[in-house]
Amino acid sequence: MKRMIRTALAMTLTLGMLAGCGNSTGSGSAAKETAAQGAASGETKAAQTQAAASGKAVTMKIATTGNDKHQSTIAAQAFADKVKELSGGQIEATVYPNSSLGSEREASEGVKMGSIEMTIVTSDGALPSFVPETQVLSIPYLFESKEEAYYVLDGFLQEELGPKFEAQGMKHLAFCELGFRHFTNNKKEVTKAEDMKGLSIRVQEAPIWFALADSLGFIATPIAFNELYTALQQGTVDGQENPIASISSSAFDEVQKYMCMDGHTYAAESMIMNLNFYNGLTAEQQGWVDEAAAYARDYQRQTVTDMENEMLEGIKAKGVKVCEEPDLASFQAATAELYKMDSVTQLVAPELTEAVRAAVSEYRSR
């Protein structure tokens, strides 16, 4: 099975290489960027070596866009606390939440260039601009449980996408969690795919989400997240889709009547570090960083799961009728060929989706 997965990924990598070969006009800019990154690498390593020799702590900034209670900030603080503990204070990380160091895209660019040492951002949000393959996580109904998602993320995608992140000057340390995304609406109870027809649902403005709407028969309406509560309240759209934590913390349960826990996509977060910074650490320090990242990943996932359980009860208490066991087979059947649609294959090679599905099958057959 693993051989099958590797073969599928090899095809994806070939496609990516061919696409890259076609973009030769920017070679001068790429060379300058590479040279700049190389210089930054030397400066970073020299500074860290000097700090180690003098006994001073290696300091780093961790950027998140969420507030102190957001999933990304929980993971960032867990990492900061653990790496300080493991290193005996040799590595000190400071968390900057609330987009104080920029948006997810700006934080990712900062990590790439080295102005920010680390960030935790939505895997299929801003990161596809750097590593397009992360958009595979936007393909619906890949996973039926968190355990399946963890198996594929930690045992497959972490290894396969790691080199692609390194090619962008980033060290992908771990996948953390936002959670499964679910539909809510004000019109009717949704228990099967057919019930979605005719509903106007706010989605992110991306081809894969429009393809999901076409497959399920609902009307896709892009609306800025900070305007969504008002849009739901005023009936501009019938519903929306988000993880439980986002639904609860944004108070969408105050302006929605029905919730369908279909879990159409599993939303992961990526913990990324500037590659030059990571390479400038000693082998021992890298070990502390790796261990702290794994700890923060597992701690954050459990914390988010516990939060979701409590928040779901709060959503029900607000009077929202929750369908916890919808007919998933109907949703899966309606979207089975979505990954082959032209608008989707331009973003995610079908071979990568099939490789992820093969990894899921491997998990289920253990």
Could you read off the pLDDT of 101-110 as tens digits, one per residue? 999 999 999 9
> What is the reported pTM?
0.81
pLDDT in tens, 69-89: 889 999 999 999 999 999 999
pLDDT confidence tier of residue 226, bands split at 50, 70 and 90: confident
Q: Give yes or no for a contact between 174 and 293, defined as CB atoms under 8 angstroms apart.
A: yes
Interhelix angle for 104-113 vs 27-54, to 10°?
70
Strand 58-63 relative to strand 118-122, pairing? parallel
pLDDT, averaged across the chain: 88
The length of the chain in residues reads 366
pLDDT confidence tier of residue 47, bands split at 50, 70 and 90: low
Q: Cα(301)–Cα(109) distance, rounded to whole angstroms?
A: 25
More confident residue, 267 or 40: 267
User: Which residues lie across from 207 on neighbouring strands?
Assistant: none
pLDDT in tens, 287-303: 999 999 999 999 999 99
pLDDT in tens, 232-245: 999 999 999 999 99
DSSP class of 161: H
What mean pLDDT is predicted for residues 252-271? 97
pLDDT reported for residue 10: 47
3-state DSSP percent of the chain in helix, strand and coil, to 5: 55, 15, 25
Q: Cα(110)–Cα(124) distance, rounded to whole angstroms?
A: 18
pLDDT in tens, 135-192: 999 999 999 999 999 999 999 999 999 999 999 999 999 999 999 999 999 999 999 9
Assigned token pair, 118: 């680390």
pLDDT reported for residue 22: 38
Ramachandran bin of 319, using left for φ above 0, alpha for ψ from -120 to 50, beta for the remaining angles: left
CA triple 247-79-53, angle to 5 deg:
155
pLDDT reported for residue 50: 46
Whether residue 17 is predicted with pLDDT greater than 70 in this model: the reply is: no
pLDDT confidence tier of residue 15, bands split at 50, 70 and 90: very low
Which backbone phi and psi does 120 adopt, to 5 degrees?
A: -130, 115
Whether residue 26 is predicted with pLDDT greater than 80 in this model: the reply is: no
Q: Cα(174)–Cα(270) distance, rounded to whole angstroms?
A: 6
Question: C-alpha 40: how far from its chain's center?
Answer: 27
pLDDT reported for residue 28: 47
Q: Give yes or no for a contact between 247 and 184, defined as CB atoms under 8 angstroms apart.
A: yes
Whether residue 253 is predicted with pLDDT greater than 90 in this model: the reply is: yes
Question: C-alpha 172: how far from its chain's center?
Answer: 12
Whether residue 48 is predicted with pLDDT greater than 70 in this model: the reply is: no
Q: Cα(114)–Cα(63) distance, rounded to whole angstroms?
A: 12
Whether residue 279 is predicted with pLDDT greater than 70 in this model: the reply is: yes
pLDDT reported for residue 136: 96
pLDDT reported for residue 55: 62
Dump strand ranges (E) for 162-310: 170-185, 200-203, 219-222, 239-243, 258-260, 266-274
Whether residue 53 is predicted with pLDDT greater than 50 in this model: the reply is: no
Least confident of 15-24, 78-87, 256-265: 15-24
What mean pLDDT is predicted for residues 325-349? 95
Query: H or E element: which one contains 62?
Result: strand 58-63
